[in-house]
Amino acid sequence: NAGVTQTPKFQVLKTGQSMTLQCAQDMNHNSMYWYRQDPGMGLRLIYYSASEGTTDKGEVPNGYNVSRLNKREFSLRLESAAPSQTSVYFCASSAGTSTWETQYFGPGTRLLVL
Amino acid sequence: KNQVEQSPQSLIILEGKNCTLQCNYTVSPFSNLRWYKQDTGRGPVSLTIMTFSENTKSNGRYTATLDADTKQSSLHITASQLSDSASYICVVSAWKGGSQGNLIFGKGTKLSVKP
């Protein structure tokens, strides 16, 4: 039982390049989330998927797109990377979107945009 | 505006000592409050969740308190260990109807436990 896994662990991009961050969970959770964590700031929600087939914007969605490929997988795409997107990206999952649900986080992807 | 403020920003203590981390929030309407532990290079892990009516909740050497009147929470760590070195994040859920809520994350307190 691996929990939430993310690939890659680390990535360097040049401005304007595109890439997709992958996330998968094996806990049969319905809801999945993408966050970014920047120095001196709290985690901020980019996008979330309450259930398979649905996605919604979070607090900072600009510059990102997401795909809920199936119940297990939720990917985050940067179409044209910018230095402001340098950050650590965390994927999380929970059984549901109730405020009482515990979110389980992956190990993170460290992205550097030059 | 919903906000979560944590103090101190960082803290260094000796192994075996106790410490208390603070969380003040201005979140309305309040649903619940969680403390997460984030080891360096890892994702956050939930330590405890507290509701409006709960004053104290323990998880091993971690004890969280909540004062809903003053909108303050604390996380007390007893007999600290080197493995307690981590960032501790306070997360408050703002109720938005039904069972749904928005999570507001604090910036965290970075704790270093020295031998």
pLDDT digits (tens, 9 = 90+) for B13-53: 999 999 999 999 999 888 899 999 999 999 999 999 998 88
Nearest CA in chain A to B46: A102
- The pLDDT score that the predictor gives to residue B46 is 95
Measured between beta carbons, which residues in chain B are less than 8 angstroms from residue A33?
none
Interface check B41 vs A, CB under 8 A: yes
- The pLDDT score that the predictor gives to residue B99 is 65
Mean pLDDT, residues A10-23 taken together: 97
Please tell me the total number of residues recorded for chain B in this structure: 115
B43-80 b/e (C-beta count within 10 Å ≥ 16 → b): bbebbbbbeeeeeebeeeebbbbbebeebebbbebeeb
- The pLDDT score that the predictor gives to residue B97 is 74
Helix (H, G, I), strand (E, B) or coil at A52: coil
Least confident of A19-23, A93-97, A102-106: A93-97
B17 close to B80: Cβ distance less than 8 angstroms:
yes
Q: Please give the backbone phi and psi of residue A109, each rounded to the nearest 5 degrees, phi first.
A: -120, 125
Instruction: Write the residue in B43, B101, B104 that is nearest to A107 by C-beta.
Output: B43
Would the CB atoms of B101 and A92 count as touching at under 8 Å? no
Amino acid identity for residue A108 in this structure = G
What would the two tokens of residue A82 be?
Answer: 């910018």
Cα-Cα-Cα-Cα torsion B77, B78, B79, B84, nearest 10 degrees, comes to -20
C-alpha–C-alpha distance, residues A63 and A48, integer Å: 15
Asked whether the predicted pLDDT for residue B67 surpasses 70, the reply is: yes
Sequence-distant (≥ 6) Cβ neighbours of residue A62 within 8 angstroms: none
Asked whether the predicted pLDDT for residue A85 surpasses 90, the reply is: yes
